[in-house]
Amino acid sequence: MRTLISGGIVLSAAGAVPADVLIDGEQIAAVGTALGPADQRIDAVGRYVLPGGVDVHTHLELATPNGVACDDFVTGTRAAAYGGTTTIVDYAGHERGEPLLAGLARWQARAAGHAHIDYAFHMMISEVNDQVLAELASLAGAGVTSIKIFMAYPGVYMIDDAQIYRILREAGRLGILTAVHAENGAVIEELRREYVTAGQTGPRYHAASRPALLEGEATGRLIALAELAGAPVYIAHLSAAQALAAVHAARDRGQRVYAETCPQYLFLDEGLLSGPDGARYVCSPPLRTVTAQQALWQGLQRGDLDVVATDHCPFTAAQKARGERDFTLIPNGLHGVEERLVLLYQGVGAGHISLARWVELSATGPARLFGLYPRKGAVVPGADADLVVFDPAAEHTLSAAAHHSAADYSVYEGMTVRGRADVVMQRGEVLVDADGFHGRQGAGQFLRRDLPQA
Ligand code: URP
Ligand code: ZN
């Protein structure tokens, strides 16, 4: 089957060109003019044609101490497709004492036969010992070439500085990229105790116990440990200006430090935690100030931040409400996999970023960093035909009623945005168009990733 997407403006991380896109089977065959013949045609006049979004930070079905994230691989990947994201990299995990590959097998079973879109995995590391370090090579052999470690969540995921150094060194030696949750978990634990003892237990004290200062401190410490280990490092869900400054300084020195922020840190602020449904906005790191948002937009503009991913980890209103009066009981995380592309596009309209940067931050950059490029994240011959036809003029309102996550509320409720993914394709098949959803459960494929060539 050959499909021609005609008359659109093709966007890439390099810019915008008027061109047609010819798809043959699952791949892009050509980009240019006077292409054809084709069996079917999609009219893209007046619209952008861009690579399907690559969201490298999702937590589908994640079991947290206060509840299980409410999107599974069926609902989460369907929501992603509606928003123009055609690839996710989800965080698989293992229990302490459990081999990494056993944990990975559990996540593979959750995704296979369920995912609507293609997926890869990072592995969350719960402990560092000789056994885990020895297993990293087989993890890469299984197609998982990135891991996540935690400087937060003591008793669950947190590892100490010596362990961070050890795993960074081994991962770096193997060519595995380490993503890090950089908040000072030990001091946060102390602040949590102080607030609880003082009876200050409303949702806003979740944020108060995780100050920007401690994200900045952890990020700076991590960067020093990575330098010592001679390893690249990827800061996940960066939210604080202090952390951004540490990244900026390290990159100026030529260190291989990469960083991601998320839509919630660009569009929502800490004031929401003091509102009537404050618990619904609890995530870690927490929402910050409006000033921090401005710093993040500058970071995206300047190139200090490489990726906008979502940290999609949704819960229902009832799950969140359990901790209304005690922030230590609120499950941490927000939805966003469906809204990411259009939210970031608002940054184009506001003059914060260019169209090329929009594509780079949401597709090309993450695909490159995590070993998926050029199969994903590019509109070039030979790439998978994962494409979005995006109407830049369509105005609509974000709401729980209109979104497709299993979360029954929206943190963006009532926000009017410009732009919409009208047609979404994965490997040449239409997932979403004006007639609705055509995706198939289980059509999503596991994306094995190779280690970078030495
Ligand atoms: O609040 C968040 N971010 N929950 C998901 C787990 C994590 O730390 O990424
Ligand atoms: Zn995290």
* Residue among 375, 442, 366, 426 nearest 146 (CA): 366
**φ and ψ of 64, to 5 deg:** -105, 165
Q: Which ligand is nearest to the CA of 63?
A: 1
pTM score, whole prediction: 0.98
* Mutation to probe ligand 1, out of 237, 260, 281, 288 (largest number of atoms < 8 A from CB): 237
pLDDT, position 453: 78
Residue with CA nearest ligand 1 atom 5: 333
Q: Alpha-carbon distance 338 to 405, whole Å?
A: 8
Q: Alpha-carbon distance 382 to 92, whole Å?
A: 29
Q: Are strands 53-58 and 48-51 parallel, antiparallel or unpaired?
A: unpaired
Q: How many helices (H) and strands (E) does the chain have?
A: 14, 19
Tokens of 388: 């979005």
C-alpha 284 to ligand 2 mean position (Å): 7
Q: Specify the ligand 1 atom closest to the Cα of 284.
A: 1
pLDDT, position 216: 98
Burial 26-36 (b: 16+ CB within 10 A, else e): ebbbbbeeebe
Q: Specify the ligand 1 atom closest to the Cα of 332.
A: 1
C-alpha 311 to ligand 1 mean position (Å): 6
Q: Specify the ligand 1 atom closest to the Cα of 150.
A: 8
Residue with CA nearest ligand 1 atom 4: 333
Contact call for residues 284 and 273 (beta carbons, < 8 A): no
Give Cα 290 to chain centroid, integer Å: 21
Tokens of 316: 């229902």
Which DSSP helix (H) or strand (E) runs through 415? none
CA–CA distances in Å: residue 241 to residues 8, 219, 286, 335, 354 = 38, 11, 13, 23, 22
Q: What angle do CA 66, 444, 339 make, to 5 degrees?
A: 55
Q: Alpha-carbon distance 175 to 454, whole Å?
A: 8
All structural domains of the chain: 2-50+378-437 (2.30.40.10), 52-369 (3.20.20.140)
Which DSSP helix (H) or strand (E) runs through 385? none
- Identity of the amino acid at 52: G
Residue with CA nearest ligand 1 atom 7: 284
Q: Alpha-carbon distance 101 to 173, whole Å?
A: 20
Question: What residues does ligand 1 touch, defined as CB less than 6 Å away?
Answer: 59, 181, 237, 283-284, 311, 313, 332-333
Residue with CA nearest ligand 1 atom 2: 333
SS3 of residue 401 by DSSP: coil
DSSP code per residue over 259-283: EEE-HHHHH--GGGGGSTTGGGG--
Along the 454 residues of the chain, how does pLDDT read in single tens digits?
999 999 999 999 999 999 999 999 999 999 999 998 999 999 999 999 999 999 999 999 999 999 999 999 999 999 999 999 999 999 999 999 999 999 999 999 999 999 999 999 999 999 999 999 999 999 999 999 999 999 999 999 999 999 999 999 999 999 999 999 999 999 999 999 999 999 999 999 999 999 999 999 999 999 999 999 999 999 999 999 999 999 999 999 999 999 999 999 999 999 999 999 999 999 999 999 999 999 999 999 999 999 999 999 999 999 999 999 999 999 999 999 999 999 999 999 999 999 999 999 999 999 999 999 999 999 999 999 999 999 999 999 999 999 999 999 999 999 999 999 999 999 999 999 999 999 999 999 999 999 987 6
C-alpha 11 to ligand 1 mean position (Å): 31
C-alpha 199 to ligand 1 mean position (Å): 25
DSSP code per residue over 296-336: HHHHHHHTS--EE---B----HHHHHTTTT-GGGSPP-B--
Q: Alpha-carbon distance 172 to 442, whole Å?
A: 34
Tokens of 408: 């029954």
Q: Alpha-carbon distance 306 to 250, whole Å?
A: 14
What region, left, alpha or beta, does residue 401 occupy, with left being phi > 0 and alpha being psi -120 to 50 degrees? alpha
C-alpha 181 to ligand 2 mean position (Å): 4
